[in-house]
Chain A
Amino acid sequence: MRLLGADIVVRALQEEGVELLFGHPGGAVLELYDALYRSRFRHVLARHEQGAVHMADGYARVTGGPGVALVTSGPGVTNALTGIATAFTDSIPLVVFTGQVITKAIGNDAFQEADNMGLTRPITKHNFMVKDVRDLARIIKEAFHIATTGRPGPVVVDLPKDITQMEAEYHYPSEVSLRQYNPRYEGHWGQIKKAMALILEARRPVVYFGGGVIISGAHEELLEFCEKLGVPATYTLMGIGGIPGNHPQSLGMLGMHGTYRANMAVDECDLLIAIGARFDDRVTSRVDQFSPHSRKIHVDIDPTSIRKSVDVDIPIVGDVRNVLQKFLKLLEGEPKLETYGDQIADWRTQIEAWEQGRPLSYAQTADGPILPQYVIDKVYQLTEGKAVVTTDVGQHQMWAAQYYHAQSPRHWVTSGGLGTMGFGFPSAVGAQFGRPKETVVCITSEGSLLMTVQELAVAVEHNLPIKVVNLNNGVLGMVRQWQQFFYERRYSEVDLHAQPDWVKYFEAFGALGYRATKPDEVETVLEKGLAATKPVIMDFVCAEEENCFPMVPSGGANRDMILEEPEEG
């Protein structure tokens, strides 16, 4: 059967089981949009290409992916870059189709031409340009395979316009043959046994896990592993939801805004069991003083993550779930398990003492301004931690990580690695498409929200009942906090009081808006907002100078965290 290039793309998407495409049309992709029209393929029209890619990303994070986006050439691609880079840093499987000028025009500075391969090379797991329509189906197959296997990531397929207009015999390959690409899933038994020996002799062990647990679907194995041993577990921003946030063995998040007990436990442990995490700088802080007394086990599917910043004693390359299953197998009938609880009892007592001494806390007063932590606490209580939460980037993101105790994986959507402001709302749109029956809450703040809020039109168009919790403090809060601590309160370009009336703004789009200005209004507004069946903003006018603690100053070690407001001198 001979098909047009554009129709080959649509057929290939169907073969891959893609149900939904996020995109924005333009000149170079007219043929593709015609094919979508003729096949009635389900497509969500984003209002900006960055939004389209964030939507595909949010969709992938809550469903397991892949997310698929389609953008036109030139500015379509440059607009999409932030979205692609966001997904790349967080290992999210995406396939992004980019329009390109006709093959003959490439390199001639044609209208809406950009070097898509050059632009996307450093922010994709791989990219392809299709130069012959006969390669198209195979390349799409390879793109999906590469995006979704091993350590996942975005793959770009660049489609010159003439390729989409040419015909070729259609045959979709059932398998890929990439002789050079073969991710290792099976953890090495020898290494796993050595690691288990270390675990069984440890007196102060801690599990430190990250997004790899979510990606590999290892949450059940992880919980069983932690519970069998009674070992405490801390997690990265990307690991949230890997174990229920309020589990008695959960220490909360570690790192720059981690909990006191998590940072102290990692600092004083004698064995650090790193699972699907990459010792990123927001976790380690000062790397030469990170977890200085411990031996380290590191499980990761990506060999480059191992020994990149921190030396480890036992590296295990493999899929986190596969490795945890092997750990569990070794634990079956392990005689030392019986006394293991006693062996680490002092350690658990110590951790409990840290928690009692320095719990996360905030001081909401009845007549003072609304504190953002209080709002997040209430969101957690009212949703019982079962909602899908997306966030933007800044103070509100860290407070959400601290106070919203997500109960299950793939319910926490945040830009962890790249730290992309503007991610929250569009990713909530994608998440709501991915989990249409669940409550989706976007915890954000006005600085981030204003960057991409045009996608509200999409939420209204598709009647997506996204609940936006706007922690509106009138400033770029995290930048302000750093300026307060390290630049003597010289607040440089952080004032955001010139902002829309958010209730009216949402109403103007056909959505709903509620506002709370006093603490006693918070719960009522949240109850109304969470019950809404349309997109809704809950605008919480919050304290301006509230700070996020604990906080590890840059250049400091985790144990040097600042825990409370300094006394004014």
Chain B
Amino acid sequence: MQHTINVRVKNEFGVLSRVSGLFSARGYNIDSLCVAETLDPTVSQITLVTQGEDETIEQIVKQLYKLIDVIKVSDHTQASSFVGRELALFKVRTLPEARAEVMRIAEIFRGKIVDVTPDSYTVEVTGSPEKIRGLSDLLRPLGLEDVVRTGRVAVARGG
């Protein structure tokens, strides 16, 4: 099952390699990974998406806690327990006659055109992986040239 794990760590050099090193050394997969500072600049948050049986996830959480620089680990499994988002940038090489269609589709997905050149549009969209995949499928026949995606960021619902 897919798990989204938030790891609060000391914002220090080398922390990311401790976390990623733990995953590679013990043979755990990382589907995606995002790191950024939190409101407290001495603390960073790593959002990890990983797969595994319950016992594996239990080990991952315990192993993460064992790292000296890790402050808090929260594992989100139930889709209802957290809000998760990814961001994607789509570069579409457009023929003049397809431009309107690209804009229309982007709008439906609540995307934004963030860069325009004579022969291309760049569309920014946030959402679930399914939404991003959906947009990708629709843009492909219109000249989709490149997609760049972040990993998932997540926050627990409610207080």
Give A residues with C-beta under 8 Å from B.
Answer: 117-118, 121-122, 125-126, 129, 131, 146, 178-181, 302-304, 307-308
Complex contact A307–B10 (CB within 8 A): no
Q: Which 9 A/B pairs are nearest by Cβ-Cβ distance?
A: A180-B71, A126-B68, A304-B62, A303-B62, A181-B68, A304-B63, A122-B25, A304-B66, A121-B21
Complex contact B17–A178 (CB within 8 A): no
Query: Which B residues lie within 8 Å of A146 (CB)?
Result: 68
Check: B97 CB closer than 8 A to any chain A CB.
no
Given the complex of chains A and B, what is the CA–CA distance between A180 and B43 in angstroms? 11
Complex contact A180–B66 (CB within 8 A): no
Given the complex of chains A and B, what is the CA–CA distance between A307 and B10 in angstroms? 28
Query: Which A residues lie within 8 Å of B62 (CB)?
Result: 303-304
Distance of B62 from chain A, by nearest CB (Å): 4
Distance of B11 from chain A, by nearest CB (Å): 12
Query: Which B residues lie within 8 Å of A126 (CB)?
Result: 68
Complex contact A302–B59 (CB within 8 A): no
Distance of A292 from chain B, by nearest CB (Å): 18
A-B contact count (CB 8 A): 35
* 12 A–B pairs (Cβ distance < 8 Å), ordered by A: A121-B14, A122-B25, A178-B68, A180-B68, A180-B72, A181-B68, A303-B62, A303-B66, A304-B66, A307-B58, A307-B59, A308-B59
Given the complex of chains A and B, what is the CA–CA distance between A513 and B58 in angstroms? 55
Given the complex of chains A and B, what is the CA–CA distance between A465 and B63 in angstroms? 43
Query: Which A residues lie within 8 Å of B58 (CB)?
Result: 307
Output the nearest chain A residue to B63 by Cβ-Cβ distance. Answer: A304
Check: B5 CB closer than 8 A to any chain A CB.
no
Output the nearest chain B residue to A127 by Cβ-Cβ distance. Answer: B14
Output the nearest chain B residue to A183 by Cβ-Cβ distance. Answer: B66
Instruction: Give the residues from 42 to 99 in chain B that come closer than 8 angstroms, CB to CB, to chain A.
Output: 55, 58-59, 62-63, 65-66, 68-72
> A180-B71, A307-B55 given. 14 additional CB < 8 A pairs?
A117-B14, A118-B17, A121-B18, A121-B21, A122-B21, A125-B68, A129-B13, A180-B70, A181-B68, A302-B66, A303-B62, A303-B66, A307-B59, A308-B59
Other-chain contact of A180, B10, B14, B18, B25 (Cβ < 8 Å): B10
Complex contact B17–A121 (CB within 8 A): yes
Query: Which A residues lie within 8 Å of B18 (CB)?
Result: 121
Query: Which A residues lie within 8 Å of B17 (CB)?
Result: 118, 121
Distance of B141 from chain A, by nearest CB (Å): 46
Output the nearest chain B residue to A308 by Cβ-Cβ distance. Answer: B59
Query: Which A residues lie within 8 Å of B68 (CB)?
Result: 125-126, 146, 178, 180-181
Query: Which B residues lie within 8 Å of A122 (CB)?
Result: 21, 25
Other-chain contact of A303, B65, B70, B72 (Cβ < 8 Å): B65
Query: Which B residues lie within 8 Å of A303 (CB)?
Result: 62, 65-66
Query: Which A residues lie within 8 Å of B72 (CB)?
Result: 180
Distance of A130 from chain B, by nearest CB (Å): 12
Distance of B57 from chain A, by nearest CB (Å): 12
Most central of A117, A121, A129, A304 by chain B CB within 10 Å: A304
Given the complex of chains A and B, what is the CA–CA distance between A234 and B106 in angstroms? 68
Query: Which A residues lie within 8 Å of B55 (CB)?
Result: 307
Complex contact A179–B71 (CB within 8 A): yes
Output the nearest chain A residue to B69 by Cβ-Cβ distance. Answer: A180
Distance of B8 from chain A, by nearest CB (Å): 9
Given the complex of chains A and B, what is the CA–CA distance between A307 and B68 in angstroms? 21
Given the complex of chains A and B, what is the CA–CA distance between A271 and B70 in angstroms? 36
Given the complex of chains A and B, what is the CA–CA distance between A302 and B67 in angstroms? 12
